[in-house]
Structure 1
Amino acid sequence: MSVLSEKAMLSHVRVSAWTARRIDRKVTDEVNESHGAANDAGRYNKLLVNKEALAPIQSAISAARTFHYSRTLPWQDDGARLLPAAAYLDYTARLRGIRADFDNAVDEFIKGYSKHVEDAKKRLGDLFKPEDYPGEAEIRARFDFKTIINPVPAAEDFRVAVGDAQAEIIRAEIEERAKEQLQEAVRDVYRRVSEVCERMVEKLRNYIPGNDNVKAQGIFRDSLVENVRDLALVLPALNITSDPRLSEIAERMRRELVRHDADTLRENEDLRESVADAAAAILADVSDFLA
């Protein structure tokens, strides 16, 4: 496990945002009472600004989380994930770009904040309450985007002053837990391969081309191939244990599954069958590992 601390680190992406929602307890009580319901039967949750106003911010948050999970492996329950050193430069560069999008979106929202409040007066009618809207400075403070990088702790780093025998027991427990976490991280990579291959097999085999009179059935999007290509490209970095099986699978995915784009696969039945068969073969190999 000490070697792992040289090959990876822990990354935690923390993003916070103003939800622009507020429970209206007066309306909630009125609705529950008018229907003869208990006080906790339901609640009325107001959307304080038009949802489109926050859409660019939410889009950046979603992009950050999706990318973070795609380039890291599960590790701790507190949200920290294992980031391979081989993925660090691309990971941090991409997250800086996403954070810039987030910051720009927040700035635009703050610039239009007073107008959003004015619009809310019309949209909410009698439900509008000025006290629901903090000042611009407070609202700006509700938005934050942080990437926290820490080293992977090793059992030998345990330095608490306890008896030698007890310290050895604790170090052994730390080491065992780390091994279990690493095994789960490796399984996560295999699961990702399994998921994209299973989906590729299903979509390619269920696709029926259309013609002038009949629409195509079982259509699939361009992302079917793009998702496989993206995973194949990042697999070498995610292969934290240098597993030769994963290296081979990544090469097979690049060589057999993504040589042709989605349009070509839609047009060529023989290619669809060939790629589906290749994906099924990889799926079978991965399933043996996950069994």
Structure 2
Amino acid sequence: MRLIKRVDVPTFDVFMTSVRAELNEAVEQLELHFDELIDQARERLGDLFDPADYDMNLHRLFGIEWDYPSCNPPEYLLQVSPQLYYSECSRVQRRFDEAVKLAEQAFADELEQLVTHLGERLRGDGDGSPKVFRDSAVTNLAEFLDRFQRLNIRSDDQLDRLVADARRIVGGVVPQQLREQSELRQRVATELSRVEASLEGWMTERPRRSILRRSR
């Protein structure tokens, strides 16, 4: 499960529909050449070739599905079995809690990458000479901070503070200023290093989500 704002659902649905159409078209193109690919594999593998390794129903192998699950269990369960109803309420809540944690982790991973990249460019080489950096090193971080604010998860105070710190550090700063003003560049690099260290601590304290593969 992933979180999405209600206002973004129509756009998301159009996007996913177009992606599924592209995938179906790609599968159809693969089907046109699949026999040829199998013949090449037979010739290349010799005695090791096994036709059972090649499923001829390609549409069964490739697909994209999505849905919009209800946030609440059906009301009739409350009449049929209150215990089952409240059990379902707990299950739905756990799923949403997990979705929030996944969103937090994704945000933290992206923030760490952006902060680390910009910090490395600003700190420069070992001799103190600045490294060349593109405007995108700054603008990508600024765009991320705006996106984080729009989604407004607000489920982890420490992560919110780290994002606020990063916003304060780079807010109003343009790339050319960082190239021309060494004191500003050094100050931003130093403060970003603190954010980076705090992010590493935050991510270390939070256990990574374990992925369990269910047997079919």
> Under TM normalisation by the shorter chain, which class is it?
0.5 to 0.7
* Cα distance, 1:123 vs structure 2: 1.9
Shift in CA distance, 269/170, structure 1 to aligned 2, threshold 3 Å: same
How far 1:251 moved relative to its partner?
A: 9.1
2-side partners of 1:202 and 1:242: how far apart? 27
RMSD over aligned Cα atoms: 5.0
1:276 and 2:189 matched? yes
| Contact 1:239–1:246 under 8 Å retained in 2 | no
Q: Distance in 2 between matches of 1:128 and 1:182?
A: 43
Alignment coverage as a number of residue pairs? 200
Matched with 2:32 is 111
Q: Deviations over 1:110-145 (max 9, x none)?
A: 12112111221222122223343343xx12322111
The letter for the 1-side match of 2:72 is P
Superimposed CA distance per residue, residues 13-44 of structure 1 (whole angstroms, 9 cap, x where no aligned partner): xxxxxxxxxxxxxxxxxxxxxxxxxxxxxxxx
Tell me the residue number matched to 2:125. Answer: 208
Counterpart among 64, 82, 88 of residue 145 in structure 1: 64
The residue type paired with residue 141 of structure 1 is R
Aligned partners of 1:150 and 1:132: how far apart in 2?
36
Structure ranking higher in helix proportion: 2
Can you list the C-alpha shifts for 1:131-181, whole angstroms capped at 9, x where unaligned? Answer: 43343xx12322111122212227988626346xx5797588569757855
**1:125 to 1:87, Cα distance in 2 relative to 1, 3 A:** same
Kept in 1: contact 2:122–2:185 (CA 8 A): yes
Q: Percent identity, aligned pairs only?
A: 19
Match of 2:72, SS state, is coil
Asked if structure 2 preserves the Cα contact closer than 8 Å seen for 1:110 and 1:140, the reply is no
Aligned pair in 2 of structure 1 residues 133, 177: CA closer, same or farther (>3 Å)?
Answer: closer
Aligned 1:1-291 pairs, distance under 5 A:
80-135=1-56, 138-153=57-72, 159=78, 161-162=80-81, 170=87, 177=94, 181=98, 184=101, 187-188=104-105, 191-192=108-109, 194-196=111-113, 198-200=115-117, 202-208=119-125, 224-225=137-138, 227-241=140-154, 246=160, 249=164, 252=167, 256=171, 259-260=174-175, 270=182, 272-277=185-190, 279-280=192-193
CA contact (8 A) 1:99 1:145 kept: yes
Amino acid in the other structure paired with 2:64: F
The list of structure 1 runs, each at least 4 consecutive aligned residues, that deviate by more than 4 angstroms after superposition, is: 154-158, 166-183, 216-227, 241-248, 264-269, 280-291
Q: CA deviation at 1:196?
A: 3.5
Aligned to 1:73: none
What's the CA shift for 1:220?
Answer: 7.3
- Unaligned regions of 5+ residues in structure 2, if any? 206-216
Higher relative contact order (Cα pairs below 8 Å, separated by 6+ residues)? 1
Between the aligned partners of 2:201 and 2:76, the Cα distance in structure 1 is 36
What is the rounded CA distance, in whole Å, between the counterparts of 1:98 and 1:250 in structure 2?
A: 37
Q: TM-score, normalised by structure 2?
A: 0.59
Q: Is the 8 A contact 1:203 1:219 kept in 2?
A: no
In the aligned structure 2, how far is the partner of 1:131 from the partner of 1:173? 44
Structure 1 residues 115, 180: CA separation in 2 closer, same or farther (over 3 Å shift)? closer
With normalisation by structure 1, the TM-score equals: 0.47
Q: Contact 2:77 / 2:85 at 8 angstroms: preserved in 1?
A: no
Return closer, same or farther for 1:287/1:190 CA change in 2, 3 Å cut-off.
Answer: farther
- CA distance in 2 between counterparts of 1:157 and 1:251 reads 48
